[in-house]
């Protein structure tokens, strides 16, 4: 630990005012840094700002398209219980003014929660709305011998009417990772006459009335969207790599959903042939195949790359060793509890930037990048990661109730996708959570 006289206040840019950017801004300011948050939308909330708009290219591959940020669809309810999901010291508890008091609420409740968070901690005044960061690059300007490189941030405000070119001591990247789609490779697709789209551009089921829809994927969005669409579509066929090659199962409880193995090939006549040998005449292929990390504004002379969907090298998924601590990322790991993780990462970054943990960090930054694919998938290891972060910043580890509540969710989601949000038995854990919450809510 550094002495209080050696604590430094930095001028920090935060990119994005979603859940990650909001809590990063709060923690940086609490630590005494001056903060500017850049946000290209008109309000806080990031991916939770639902919009009817979709991209002109519904596969989202055209680099010149106007990007629609949100991937949220109309019927979306959270896939985590609200008690686990919220920030540790600003619980996502049921309030008298809750729009949707359910444990797994619909998306407007999450947006309202994030808006409340921004209001409670006075974050909005730190944000430059409708301002897009177009370039982040190392600044030639000297760091005054402090060993922390500076960054040049170029941004455009209000449809490019105002250009800014500024220097910051540090940049915290919180731009979200559910925007740049990953697509399945399908032999024959260039001649297939039907419509292709990515779940990023899915909003409502009604446009699929009487259609035959092939959904690719097995994650939460594939599960939710196939069921959403089945109320309107003639048939829904779900293709997944994770199913054995002979899979052909009618989905329990539905008359028009079938589970298949992966698509083997599609043909000019509109047919899709699965590895199980079945053929359907499809109208639409919907890729529910996830997203890629994407930092179109970031120039680091090759120090940070995205390779096989691994951002790296990054120490503890946060700091690129060669550019630490002036460049950092919040929110890279997945299969996590996003909001509490953002909070811990942000506290750590804020403390490192002020110099409170200088000695430890200088020693450990060297050569500790972790390579490649699945690097950022934490799953069961997430709690060890949170505890490690907590130990760096003098914060208690994850609450037992949060661990016990969240661990079975993944399995329950897979086994009972229709009911896991509305039927549960962990009432005692909910009681424990609300006991803890009483410290923060009146
Ligand atoms: P985002 O919310 O995406 O925010 C990033 C912000 O950065 C945006 O406001 C964007 O406009 C801004 N931005 C990007 N680039 C620039 C730029 N160049 N200049 C200026 N601003 C920029 N998590 C849960 O905890 N529970 C759930 O139930 C859940 N369900 C989900 C369902 C879906 C369909 C998706 C896509 C995600 C879900 N998540 C869920 C994960 C969710 O993404 C995180 O909870 C969290 O909201 C991500 O926050 P973020 O701040 O990292 O990113």
Which ligand 1 atom lies nearest to the CA of residue 331?
52
Expressed in angstroms and rounded, the spacing between residue 47 Cα and the centre of ligand 1 is 4
* Ligand 1 site-directed mutation target among 21, 24, 47, 171, most atoms within 8 Å of CB: 47
CB 340 less than 6 A from any atom of ligand 1: no
For residue 213, the cross-strand partners are 236, 284
CB of 391 within 8 A of CB of 326? Answer: no
Look up the pTM and report it.
Answer: 0.95
Q: How far apart are the C-alpha atoms of 370 and 99, rounded to whole Å?
A: 42
**Mind giving me the DSSP string for 316-360?**
TTTB-GGGTTTEEESS--BSS-HHHHHHHHHHHHHHHHHTTTHHH
Domains delineated in the chain: 11-179+291-439 (3.50.50.60), 189-287 (3.50.50.60)
CB of 330 within 8 A of CB of 346? Answer: yes
Residuewise pLDDT in 10s, the chain (442 residues): 555 557 899 999 999 999 999 999 999 999 999 999 999 999 999 999 999 999 999 999 998 998 999 999 999 999 999 999 999 999 999 998 999 999 999 999 999 999 999 999 999 999 999 999 999 999 976 555 555 689 999 999 977 688 999 999 999 999 999 999 999 999 999 999 999 999 999 999 999 999 999 999 999 999 999 999 999 999 999 999 999 999 999 999 999 999 999 999 999 999 999 999 999 999 999 999 999 999 999 999 999 999 988 998 999 999 999 999 999 999 999 999 999 999 999 999 999 999 987 645 443 444 355 447 788 999 999 999 999 999 999 998 899 999 999 999 988 988 899 999 999 999 999 999 999 999 998 7
Pairing of strands 170-173, 327-329: parallel
Peptide bond into 325 cis (omega under 30): yes
Assign 40 to helix, strand or coil.
coil
CB of 436 within 8 A of CB of 403? Answer: no
Residue 206 structure tokens: 């009604």
Residue 70 CA: distances (Å) to CA of 14, 407, 418: 19, 27, 24
Expressed in angstroms and rounded, the spacing between residue 178 Cα and the centre of ligand 1 is 7
Output the CA torsion 431→432→435→441 (10° steps).
-80
Residue 35 CA: distances (Å) to CA of 26, 367, 383: 9, 30, 29
């Amino acid at each position: 630990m550094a002495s209080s006289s050696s604590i430094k206040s930095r001028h920090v840019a935060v990119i994005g005012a979603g859940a990650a950017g909001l809590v990063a801004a709060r923690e940086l300011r609490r630590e005494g840094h001056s903060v500017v948050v850049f946000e290209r939308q008109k309000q806080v909330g990031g991916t939770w700002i639902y919009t009817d708009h979709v991209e002109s290219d519904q596969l989202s591959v055209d680099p010149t398209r106007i990007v629609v940020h949100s991937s949220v669809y109309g019927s979306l309810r959270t896939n985590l219980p609200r008690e686990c999901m919220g920030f540790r010291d600003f619980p996502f508890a049921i309030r008298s003014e809750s729009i949707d008091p359910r444990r797994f609420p619909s998306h407007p409740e999450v947006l309202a929660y994030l808006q409340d968070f921004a209001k409670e901690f006075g974050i909005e005044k730190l944000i430059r709305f409708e301002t897009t960061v177009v370039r982040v690059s190392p600044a030639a300007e000297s760091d005054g011998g402090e060993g922390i490189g500076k960054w040049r941030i170029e941004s455009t405000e209000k449809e490019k009417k105002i250009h800014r070119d500024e220097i910051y001591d540090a940049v915290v990247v919180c731009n979200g990772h559910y925007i740049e789609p990953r697509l399945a490779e399908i032999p024959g697709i260039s001649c297939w006459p039907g419509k292709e789209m990515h779940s990023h551009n899915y909003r409502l089921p009604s446009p699929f009335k009487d259609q035959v829809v092939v959904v690719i994927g097995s994650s939460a969005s594939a599960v939710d969207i196939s069921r959403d669409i089945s109320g309107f579509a003639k048939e829904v066929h779900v293709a997944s790599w994770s199913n054995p090659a002979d899979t052909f199962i009618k989905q329990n409880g539905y008359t028009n959903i079938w589970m298949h193995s992966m698509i083997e090939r599609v043909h000019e006549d509109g047919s899709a042939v699965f590895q199980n040998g079945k053929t359907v005449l499809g109208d639409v292929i919907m890729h529910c195949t996830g997203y890629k990390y994407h930092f179109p504004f970031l120039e680091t002379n090759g120090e940070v790359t995205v390779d096989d969907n691994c951002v790296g090298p990054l120490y503890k998924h946060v700091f690129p060793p060669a550019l630490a601590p002036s460049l950092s990322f919040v929110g890279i790991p997945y299969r996590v509890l996003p909001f509490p993780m953002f909070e811990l990462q942000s506290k750590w970054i804020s403390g490192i930037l002020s110099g409170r943990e200088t000695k430890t960090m200088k020693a450990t930054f060297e050569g500790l990048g972790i390579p490649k694919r699945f690097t950022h998938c934490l799953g069961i290891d997430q709690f060890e990661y949170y505890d490690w972060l907590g130990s760096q910043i003098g914060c208690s580890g994850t609450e037992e109730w949060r661990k016990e509540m969240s661990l079975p969710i993944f399995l329950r989601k897979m086994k009972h996708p229709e009911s896991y949000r509305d039927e549960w038995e962990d009432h005692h854990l909910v009681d424990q959570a609300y006991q803890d919450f009483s410290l923060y809510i009146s």
